[in-house]
Structure 1
Amino acid sequence: MRGEASRLADRSSRDLMASKIQALGSEAGKLAEQMFTLCDVLDANPRLQRAMTDPGRPVEDKKKLVRTLMGEQAMPITLEILDDLVARSWSRAYDIDNAVEDFGVDAVMYEADSRGQTLQISVELAKLQSALLNLPVVRSSLSGSNGVTAEARVELLHKLIDNAHFDKMTVKLAEHAAANPRKRRFVETLQWLISKFSRHMGESMVTVTTATPLNDEQIQRLIDVYTKKLGRKAFIHCVVDPSVLGGMRVQVGDEVTDRTVVAQLENLQRMAKVSFGE
């Protein structure tokens, strides 16, 4: 959980730079690469985090550190963003890594906007998330469990998605999530990304899991219900998972409403154990 100072620093900096990132168009993808690379470096170097956020260190000194760290290949806007970040106050050093990652995702979204692919990327992220529902071993490996290296995780990811022909920015986001889990499970990162894309588009991604496919009428009914409930346009992502047996599981952001048959059976089993003192 970020402290108030970090939330304010992150949000204010991103609001300040938003129009400049948007103006990059297709070049925003290069900014995303630099931000994700820096995020990885910072995550691996706590001393560097502290050096960039130390309130007792002169801002000009921190800006010089940024230039030493980024080298001559850094885009001017990359340096401008980092100059702004190191000049702000942070609740904890690690939060500057979060802000750098947020900027990377923002850059991906603006690059996607320039090509009209923002919704498509959001749908592809949801498809990848759905594909992993019945692949627990793969999910675990992509999340950094079992001692799997970053290189092996990215290789495993490509074995999973290469035949899907996803957009290049979908692949970039998935590679970042696999290479650096950032204390999150891979599917949690996908959901976080889907939610960010939904907010960016002014829509909400509603993931609906059922045992059998929904028809067009049912999907439209869900769109109408959740558009009214959320106060903004809803996009319904349908997942077919026979293991739920029947009923429906609905996820909007972090909120899950599970009315599937399997969930009801599990609830009955828990109630029975309580009643009989097992």
Structure 2
Amino acid sequence: MVSFRGASAEAMAHLTDRVGGVAEGSAATVAENLFAAAGSFRSEGSLRRFAIDQSVAVEARTGVVRDVFAGKIDPAALDLVAAAAGQRWTKPRDLADALEQLGVVAAVRSVGLQAATLVDELFGVRRLVDGNTDLRNALSDPARSAADKSGLVESLLSGKVLAATVLLVRQALAGSHRTVTAALEDYERTAAQVNGEGVATVHSARPLDEATQQRLTSALTRQYGRPVHLNIVVDPAVVGGLRVEIGDDVIDGTVSARLDDARRKIAG
């Protein structure tokens, strides 16, 4: 997830609370509008500099931002964008990055009780892109237009996944992240966090049955003090056991890891 510091972290916390008040029925529109506003601030340097200029009165900054976006975005999104312009930001890019992050939160809110499904689908798309060189190249090709890439995403996913998943994959093509897969991983974590969960990626030589998944989920929940959503990766290279990645932590209980450890002890 994008990391905010100082004044930007305080601003983000305040704005995230405001997104929590957006009605579920309008959240998808708000998400799309926030993504559009983030893009505008990234591309329009003069607008961005004005919106974060602390020498300009808050009322003036929010007023101009309202004038710029009035009639172009939903009233609820307009209130959020204007409120963002009224905050203090630690770095110039933080305003646009925050709006993108808030858009992800709104997209998650739009799916209601299907947040876990959204996390699973984002993970599935990320794995698809990672494992398909042609698709990855097509989505990262600078010679292809944004509309062309967006159309490719629509043709692959529309009708097969949640509308919010399609929206977030399209945003992954246009946002601030280095690659599509990095963006999708960030969005997964945000979606899980909105749902009060952490995300653990579990590498196993074979699919895990429901009972094993439940035991692992319970163990990780106890260890980390909050519910944990599992993303399962079937990887024959694991040989046996499990490798669990959660945040910056890696719990490697695979046979290959134990063998490597034994070899080091013998060599040492």
TM-score when normalising by structure 1:
0.81
Which sections of structure 1, spanning at least 5 residues, go unmatched? none
Which structure 2 residues correspond to residues 43-62 of structure 1 after superposition, within 5 A? 43-62=42-61
Q: Residue 132 in 1 paired to residue 132 in 2? A: no
Letter in 1 for 2:82: D
By how many angstroms is 1:257 displaced? 4.1
Aligned to 1:172: 167
Distance 1:145 1:257 in 2: 36
Distance 2:131 2:239 in 1: 14
Aligned to 2:197: 203
Distance 1:234 1:253 in 2: 11
Which structure 2 residues correspond to residues 29-178 of structure 1 after superposition, within 5 A? 29-113=28-112, 116-142=113-139, 144=140, 147-162=143-158, 165-178=160-173
Aligned in 2, Cα 1:254/1:186: closer, same or farther, shift over 3 Å?
Answer: farther
Distance 1:128 1:226 in 2: 25
SS in 1 for 2:111: helix
Aligned to 1:240: 234
Aligned in 2, Cα 1:257/1:201: closer, same or farther, shift over 3 Å?
Answer: same
Aligned in 2, Cα 1:218/1:160: closer, same or farther, shift over 3 Å?
Answer: same
Compare 127-136 and 88-97 and name the one that shifted more.
127-136
Distance 1:155 1:68 in 2: 31
Aligned to 1:215: 209
SS in 1 for 2:37: helix
Aligned to 1:8: 10
**Percent of paired sites with the same residue:** 26
Aligned in 2, Cα 1:95/1:119: closer, same or farther, shift over 3 Å?
Answer: same
Question: Does the aligned pair in 1 maintain the 2:97–2:176 contact within 8 Å?
Answer: no
Question: Does the aligned pair in 2 maintain the 1:210–1:239 contact within 8 Å?
Answer: yes
Render the CA deviation track for 1:94-122: whole Å, top value 9, x for unaligned. 10001111221121122212xx3222112
Distance 1:160 1:246 in 2: 34
Question: Does the aligned pair in 1 maintain the 2:189–2:198 contact within 8 Å?
Answer: yes
SS in 2 for 1:72: coil
Compare 150-159 and 168-177 and name the one that shifted more.
150-159
Which sections of structure 2, spanning at least 5 residues, go unmatched? none
Question: Does the aligned pair in 1 maintain the 2:202–2:242 contact within 8 Å?
Answer: yes
By how many angstroms is 1:151 displaced? 2.6
